[in-house]
Structure 1
Amino acid sequence: MSYKILFIDPLAPSRMESLRALAFEGFTLDTTTGRDEATQLAAVRDADFLISGDLPITRAMLEAGTRLKGVHKWGVGIDNFDLDAARDHGVRVMRTTGSNAIPVAETALALIMATSRGILAGHQGMQRGEWLKGAVGVNCFMLTGKTVGLVGLGAIAKSLARILTGFGCRILYTKPTPIPVEEARALGVEHVDLDTLLRESDIVSLHCALTPQTRGLIATPQLRAMKKTAILINVARGGVVVEADLVAALRDGTIRAAGVDVFETEPTDPANPLLHLPNCVCTPHIGAAAADNFAKTVTRMFTNIACVARGEEVAPLDLVV
């Protein structure tokens, strides 16, 4: 029996070729891009599985997909999937927990270094023919020995914690349920409440899922609780931060700088003030992107989908619904 997998997100031609090379026997891939909503729903009606990264899996899709057996997140965050609709229609929801942890952790580190070491300002100055050694250098700080606060401690934050130990950082974390003491000791992390983390950290890095409880978690009161010399890093979800409040905090010096990989609306408007502030480094949600991690992640997705197709159990960490 043949099963059809429909990819919802646009894909580069090179990615499409790689996907087809990795596809399991008995599965056909539909990677057509540029469909309007009506055409997309028509394609869903003919699909057994959907894969999406950034674009939503909606109730309308799940109602149209009478053949659907499962939908798979390309990554981890499932805030763009209608989980209630999936339950209503008996559609399995899967993800690749931890598969992108190291690339996202490295992206967080890159944003930390770019904001603390004046990388972007120095580069842009040289492009303009300006040698800003003094002007940029006076605002550069070391990461070594600093206190870093991790909001959330899943696979990504744990990967970042392991990296930061090499810099001799004090690492704080906050999450509703602390991890076991032995694991915390091995990672070199200390559990604190959010207020303490914001107050004591030189760098605050966000790694929590976007939920009703975390939407707008970082707004003006939290930004004002941070050190004026602090840096905010967001590689989680845009909605965790109130963007307008962050813009105001960066403009008036409430905090020193920010590194932002995720936005409230994606793609973000080119006029978004965050893109034009000298103390903010922005990237287009590339945290999970890593060419050398692609095959491993895709193979894991296809394995999960094949399990559902065969009526077998999916790895518990990868099964959401």
Structure 2
Amino acid sequence: MKILFVNPLKDYIDRITESVPDGFEVKIMSLDSDVSEMCEEAADADFIISGVDVPEDVFRAAKNVKFIQYMSSGYGQLSLPVLNELGVPVAQMKTHSISVAEHALTLMLTLLRRIPASMELMREGKWRQELDETSYSELYGKTVGIVGLGNIGRWVGKIVHHGFGANVVFYDNAEIPLTVSELISARQVSLSELMAVSDVVCLSVPLNEESDRMIGRDELAMMKRSGVLVNVGRGEVVDETALIEFLRDGRIAGAGLDVYQSEPLDLSSELLRLDQVVCTPHMAGVGWENVQRRIETVWHNFDTVLRGGVPSGVITTVKRAAVTVDA
């Protein structure tokens, strides 16, 4: 069976090709390839493994495909209605939640403990001389507000509550089962209440029409002056211009950002010059353990499809492949 792997990250190429089960062959194509060539290869593919930004024409040319697996937590530039029109199950990766949640926690602690500022003082040869204890904070007892209680948000909630003794509130425009919120001891609130009561606001919401610029000037104005904002979701969820203004004026205490409105982040961005901001290059999901989990998920999902089951992470209305083959 033919697998077309389009726009792969380099860390996955060898690991995928070295682990191909019997009965499968993999064709790897970068986005540098001609679109017509990609469409030609897609036409007789049984499965597609996709990176981000793969042209829509490639998916539409895959008339015989049984299942499409994104290697990312998002699903590129294509809207869910477009993916639903394909008539086959399309899945996103859910394995990254642990890595992203741990990264979110790292950003929180780095901001609260003022690690970059402390390192800068040490570089200047200052050993506690200018250390102001009132500007350092613990996570214990703080209120962490999670915007988007999906897989990432749930991991964040469990870690900060059970591991650090923080209180957790959350906002999500999707219906969250009561058992889920009870499991991580999180209380559902409105977005405005979350912004007002949280010491740490953690954004882990996907980008869609409802979340685009969800956190704007009005929402930032609700935050405590001592509050910090962490974004491990999508950069477009935040009005970046307003965020910079609030940080510059000291109207919020800090921000930890892994995602941005435009990526890669422009080197001239003021975010890189503000002392109270910690920036990382959209790397929250990075980690060799996560690479291994994603590859295992690919082969497990392919096997599930061929056995007539529902693969994990399906985001489309079609959950099972229309045609199954004895595996």
The one-letter code sitting in structure 2 at the alignment partner of 1:133 is R
Give 1:17's aligned residue. 14
Distance 1:317 1:65, change over 3 A: closer
% identical aligned pairs: 29
**Post-superposition shift, 1:257?**
0.3
Give unpaired runs (5+ residues) of structure 2: 318-327
Give 1:5's aligned residue. 4
Give 2:323's aligned residue. none
**CA distance in structure 1 between the aligned counterparts of 2:277 and 2:136, rounded to whole angstroms:** 14
Indicate yes or no: 2:34 matched with 1:39: yes
User: Over aligned residues, Cα RMSD in angstroms?
Assistant: 2.4
Distance 1:78 1:142, change over 3 A: same
Q: 1:133-167, CA deviations, whole angstroms, 9 ceiling, x for partnerless residues?
A: 34455432111111110111111111111111221
Distance 1:93 1:135, change over 3 A: farther
The one-letter code sitting in structure 1 at the alignment partner of 2:3 is K
Distance 1:263 1:136, change over 3 A: farther
- Helix, strand or coil at the partner of 2:104: helix
**CA distance in structure 2 between the aligned counterparts of 1:30 and 1:123, rounded to whole angstroms:** 47
**CA distance in structure 2 between the aligned counterparts of 1:133 and 1:187, rounded to whole angstroms:** 38
Give 1:315's aligned residue. 311
Aligned residues of 1:4 and 1:27 also touching (Cα < 8 A): yes
Indicate yes or no: 2:189 matched with 1:192: yes
Aligned residues of 1:45 and 1:67 also touching (Cα < 8 A): no
Give 2:201's aligned residue. 204
Aligned residues of 1:11 and 1:31 also touching (Cα < 8 A): no
Give 2:49's aligned residue. 51
**Post-superposition shift, 1:80?**
2.7
Aligned residues of 2:83 and 2:316 also touching (Cα < 8 A): no
Give 2:258's aligned residue. 261
**Post-superposition shift, 1:221?**
0.7
**Post-superposition shift, 1:253?**
1.1
Q: 1:58-107, CA deviations, whole angstroms, 9 ceiling, x for partnerless residues?
A: 3232234455443322233225334333333434311233x111111101
The one-letter code sitting in structure 2 at the alignment partner of 1:118 is R
TM-score (norm 1): 0.87
Give 2:112's aligned residue. 116
- Helix, strand or coil at the partner of 1:318: coil
Give 1:176's aligned residue. 173
Q: 1:161-219, CA deviations, whole angstroms, 9 ceiling, x for partnerless residues?
A: 11112211111111235544444333111111111111010000011121101100001
Give the one of 84, 87, 104 matched to 1:90. Answer: 87
Aligned residues of 1:261 and 1:287 also touching (Cα < 8 A): yes
Aligned residues of 1:118 and 1:137 also touching (Cα < 8 A): no
- Helix, strand or coil at the partner of 1:292: helix
- Helix, strand or coil at the partner of 2:157: helix
Give 2:146's aligned residue. 150
Distance 1:66 1:270, change over 3 A: farther
Q: How does 1:60-71 map to 2 (within 5 A)?
A: 60-71=57-68
**CA distance in structure 2 between the aligned counterparts of 1:50 and 1:124, rounded to whole angstroms:** 48
- Helix, strand or coil at the partner of 2:81: helix
Distance 1:272 1:65, change over 3 A: farther
Q: How does 1:238-253 map to 2 (within 5 A)?
A: 238-253=235-250
Give 2:325's aligned residue. none
Aligned residues of 2:48 and 2:68 also touching (Cα < 8 A): yes
Indicate yes or no: 2:299 matched with 1:291: no
Give unpaired runs (5+ residues) of structure 1: none
- Helix, strand or coil at the partner of 2:34: helix
Give 2:227's aligned residue. 230
Aligned residues of 1:150 and 1:172 also touching (Cα < 8 A): yes
**Post-superposition shift, 1:320?**
2.4
Distance 1:285 1:221, change over 3 A: same
TM-score (norm 2): 0.86
Aligned residues of 1:236 and 1:262 also touching (Cα < 8 A): yes
Give 1:270's aligned residue. 267
Aligned residues of 1:7 and 1:52 also touching (Cα < 8 A): yes
